[in-house]
Chain A
Amino acid sequence: MLLKLKVIGVLVVTVIAVVVSAILTVNNITLIPVRSDLNTLSKWILSFSYNPLHPLFTALTPAIVNAIVWDYRSIDTFFETSVLFAAVIGAIVIYYEYLYEKPPRGKGLSPIVKSVVKISMFIAVGLGLAIALKGHMTPAGGFQGGTVAAAIIYIMSMTYSLHWLYIRNIRQVSMLTFRTCGLISLVIVAILPILVGLLTGCNAYILQNQPKINAPIGYSYDVGDYRVSLTILMFNIFEFLIVLAAFTLLLMILSIASMEKRFPE
């Protein structure tokens, strides 16, 4: 009875949505702005994201969204990484007692599933790494690549068991160490221009990507016959490591915590 009411409710909502849309269309009203031109800021970013002829403004990054995330609005990304860091730290503080806990033994799934995952896990981790490494030239980046690689870790933990991962040194503490190293490396890349500036006596900025008119420090490398930013590549690599380690750590702590509750020894 309840299921029938839910189905009728969904159908009623659908019909109302179509009728309201039809009324709005007949009256020439659009809820989404239909535009064929961009605003000035978007045009500016499109023009200078990869423009070697204007070294003052360019990020030397063909992937424009990555240029925005790691150059033009890099402080937003810095604080976004801090929020992820704080969330994982909060989770560890709440379940601190499981940080050093060994997961119980498990059999995992059937041999057929194990064989399939054995073949595909390297491809999947490689795919995640490729997404992160090419983030400055193609869409995606460090966070997306880290999520793909973390997903395969989750699949491996279900297929083989958490204990299997634990005895191969994919442990809570090692992931925490990995993540901390990734964060420290990210901070070092962010303040590296300032350190180089202090040593060479030049002006520099935090999170600086390419050389500016009054700050001649920047890092880039050649891909075939064009140059791209090295700083953004490094940011993507370290973000990949941070996200992979953070999600694996959360998986292990939360799984062990819930297993202890259901199957107390």
Chain B
Amino acid sequence: MNITIFMLNILMVSLIANIVIALYGLIFKPNMIKKIISLTIFSDTASIIAVVIGYRFGKLPLPPVYMEPSNPDYIYELLSRSVDPLPQALVITAIVINLSFIVFLSVITLKLYDVFGSINLHLALRREVIERIEAEYETFEE
């Protein structure tokens, strides 16, 4: 049994389990804070998967940085040993966008608490429905 492949498979299975648990939290938990935490876990796990896919096996891998800019032959060293820089660059963009979305969701959660007195979506929906029925009843009585 190849130990490297075994450890890689454990890593990938753990990341997939992470995504499944995050999706469960996102869909089935009515608490907004738990949803935000699940979304954070989901997006960070997806970023990790992207970065791990860019890893390069074989000789000792190098980071995608020109450590010796004055040396024109360093380019050959990078081409033979550097990890893939593209997934890392795309993940940077994805992290910022996820962060922006989570910031906005946090603000929405705080406002939800202001309006409904609860961050539980089921309770908030129930209160909204009750308020609407009461408003319609008052209009009917008039």
User: Complex formed: what's the CA distance from A70 to B69 in Å?
Assistant: 19
CB of B12 closer than 8 Å to a CB of A: yes
* B9 pairs with A30, CB closer than 8 A: yes
Interface of A is mostly: helix
Q: Determine the residue in chain B with the shortest Cβ distance to A76.
A: B93
User: Complex formed: what's the CA distance from A186 to B10 in Å?
Assistant: 43
User: Complex formed: what's the CA distance from A24 to B79 in Å?
Assistant: 31
Q: Determine the residue in chain B with the shortest Cβ distance to A22.
A: B6
Name 20 A/B residue pairs within 8 A (Cβ), A-sorted: A18-B10, A20-B9, A20-B13, A26-B1, A29-B9, A32-B11, A34-B4, A38-B79, A42-B85, A43-B79, A46-B82, A53-B72, A64-B65, A65-B85, A68-B86, A73-B93, A87-B103, A91-B104, A138-B65, A143-B92
* A77 pairs with B86, CB closer than 8 A: no
In the assembled complex, which residues on chain A have CB atoms less than 8 Å from the CB atom of B1?
22, 25-26
CB of A265 closer than 8 Å to a CB of B: no
CB of A88 closer than 8 Å to a CB of B: yes
In the assembled complex, which residues on chain B have CB atoms less than 8 Å from the CB atom of A31?
8-9, 12-13, 16
Nearest 3 CB-CB pairs, A to B?
A: A62-B66, A87-B100, A31-B12
User: Complex formed: what's the CA distance from A244 to B142 in Å?
Assistant: 55
In the assembled complex, which residues on chain A have CB atoms less than 8 Å from the CB atom of B127?
none
* A35 pairs with B92, CB closer than 8 A: no
* B64 pairs with A46, CB closer than 8 A: yes
Interface residues on B, range: 35 or more
Q: Determine the residue in chain A with the shortest Cβ distance to B52.
A: A32
In the assembled complex, which residues on chain A have CB atoms less than 8 Å from the CB atom of B114?
261
Q: Which of A21, A22, A37, A257 counts the most B-chain CB atoms under 10 A from its CB?
A: A21
CB of B53 closer than 8 Å to a CB of A: yes
* B8 pairs with A65, CB closer than 8 A: no
Q: How far does the Cβ of B15 sit from chain A's closest Cβ, in whole Å?
A: 9
CB of B27 closer than 8 Å to a CB of A: no
Q: How far does the Cβ of B136 sit from chain A's closest Cβ, in whole Å?
A: 28
Interface of B is mostly: helix
User: Complex formed: what's the CA distance from A95 to B103 in Å?
Assistant: 13
Interface flags for A34-61 (1: CB within 8 Å of B; 0: not) read 1111110111011101110100000000
Q: Which of A17, A32, A68 counts the most B-chain CB atoms under 10 A from its CB?
A: A32
Q: How far does the Cβ of B20 sit from chain A's closest Cβ, in whole Å?
A: 10
Which of B36-44, B105-113, B118-126 faces chain A?
B105-113
Interface residues on A, range: 35 or more
Q: How far does the Cβ of A80 sit from chain B's closest Cβ, in whole Å?
A: 5
In the assembled complex, which residues on chain B have CB atoms less than 8 Å from the CB atom of A64?
64-66, 82, 85
Q: How far does the Cβ of B12 sit from chain A's closest Cβ, in whole Å?
A: 4
User: Complex formed: what's the CA distance from A26 to B89 in Å?
Assistant: 34
CB of A201 closer than 8 Å to a CB of B: no
* A226 pairs with B97, CB closer than 8 A: no
CB of B139 closer than 8 Å to a CB of A: no
Q: How far does the Cβ of B114 sit from chain A's closest Cβ, in whole Å?
A: 7
* A69 pairs with B92, CB closer than 8 A: yes
Q: How far does the Cβ of A176 sit from chain B's closest Cβ, in whole Å?
A: 15
CB of B96 closer than 8 Å to a CB of A: yes
CB of B5 closer than 8 Å to a CB of A: yes
In the assembled complex, which residues on chain A have CB atoms less than 8 Å from the CB atom of B72?
53
